[in-house]
Amino acid sequence: MMLLYTQCEFDRLHDRSQQYKTVISAVRRSRDWIHTKNYQYLLNNKEVCKRETKGDLFLIVLINSKPTGIKRRRLIRRTWGSTKTVNGTEIRTVYIMGRSNDTNTQRKLQEEQAQYGDLVQIDFHDSYDNLTVKTVMGLRWASTFCRRAKFVMKTDDDMFVNYMNLVKYLKALPLQKQKMLYVGNSERDLTPIRKGKLKKAAKWEISLEEYAGDKYPPYCSGSGFVLSMPATKTIYQTSKTTRFFRMEDVFIGICANKSGVPASHYIGFGAYWYAYSDCRFRFLITVHRLSASEMTKYWRRVNHPHHPRKCPTKELLIEWYDYDDEDILNDVIQSENASYYYEYVL
């Protein structure tokens, strides 16, 4: 069937089409910024950071989790997340998540919150593409309800975190460096993955519309990084006026770069899986993708270590950097990071 329009009717249809395009464009633009005021708390405990008894809170740890991730949260509560103090230093741990549209899952979350009181659920759809929203909302929560904490750590529920090593590292930092701290496994000079460049990397592909630059600014891997409270507040405020980017760790790096907060690298923040050894876990702060049995085993070993008198430096650095070239490895051994590691950790 053919439809015939007069010029006047055609012009009206064209105007409506343009109006529709304008609406769609506005919707896209609205996604360009994280409208923080629009996200309400569904589950919260404002008293988490008020429970400390020996002065101000030293560290609040924000663990990105899923509404359905109850098994991982239970495992963390039984292992590394059970630590509340390290040599008198107060630590608190909470789990950050978005909304579940499943009523049964939401009911279980309410029961979990009643038992543990460590869930922070915000009213946004919990998905991979919303990891940036989740992380930024975690920073908002920390700067609102834990503002007296000295440091804020962001990590994920598939990580192992050694609080003892983390506290030891943070306390050894020069006071000047502690003021505007942003530290983790720092990535530098990385380029966006464009479509078709890497196999099996579709979820990390970034279009020119999303990010037009040739390189990302320095940023710390989202697997685990630490901010001082002043840096947390600064980066959170900057996020309100920064174009949304779905890769959460890169987005935090963009905000930090805009704010003048430098991304620092520390070799103890592991972003990968590591086999356990007493030498390696003498300084490691984070380890990625441990199974439930590995996490339980590592937790026991960390609490009952057998430290050899001397650790094989070369073996450790190969594990960290995967360098095969002997000359490059020797350069790493003599690097500033390696020197810092020996001075403050061993």
What's the CA angle centered on 111, arms 109 and 115, to 5 degrees? 115
Residue among 227, 223, 285, 212 nearest 248 (CA): 223
Count other Cβ atoms within 10 Å, centred on residue 126: 23
Give a yes or no: residue 118 inside a domain.
Answer: yes
Q: Is the model more confident about 28 or about 42? A: 42
Q: Each residue of 250-288: pLDDT tens digit?
A: 999 999 999 999 999 998 897 677 777 777 777 789 998
pLDDT score for 15: 45
Give a yes or no: residue 30 inside a domain.
Answer: no
pLDDT more than 70, % of the chain: 74
Q: What tokens appear for 317 in the block?
A: 């650095």
Q: Each residue of 78-87: pLDDT tens digit?
A: 999 999 999 8
Q: Is the model more confident about 1 or about 235? A: 235
Give a yes or no: residue 300 inside a domain.
Answer: no
Cα separation, 73 vs 97, in Å, equals 12
pLDDT level of residue 231 (50, 70, 90 thresholds)? very high
Q: Each residue of 110-160: pLDDT tens digit?
A: 999 999 999 999 999 999 999 999 999 999 999 999 999 999 999 999 999
Residues 6+ apart with CB under 8 A from 152: 59, 60, 61, 62, 139, 142, 146, 226, 227, 228, 229, 232
Give a yes or no: residue 239 inside a domain.
Answer: yes
Mean pLDDT value across residues 173-195 = 89
Residues 6+ apart with CB under 8 A from 213: 192
Residue among 273, 267, 269, 276 nearest 301 (CA): 276
pLDDT score for 325: 37
Total structural domains in the chain? 1
pLDDT score for 13: 39
pLDDT score for 172: 92
β-pair type (182-187, 159-161): unpaired
pLDDT score for 248: 95
Give a yes or no: residue 110 inside a domain.
Answer: yes
Give a yes or no: residue 327 inside a domain.
Answer: no
CATH number at residue 45: 3.90.550
pLDDT score for 104: 97
Residue among 218, 207, 238, 273 nearest 36 (CA): 238
Helices (H), 65-130: 70-78, 103-116
Which residue range forms the structural domain that includes residue 177?
37-202+211-265
Q: Which helix (H) or strand (E) holds 143?
A: helix 131-145
Give a yes or no: residue 9 inside a domain.
Answer: no
DSSP state of 289: -
Give a yes or no: residue 316 inside a domain.
Answer: no
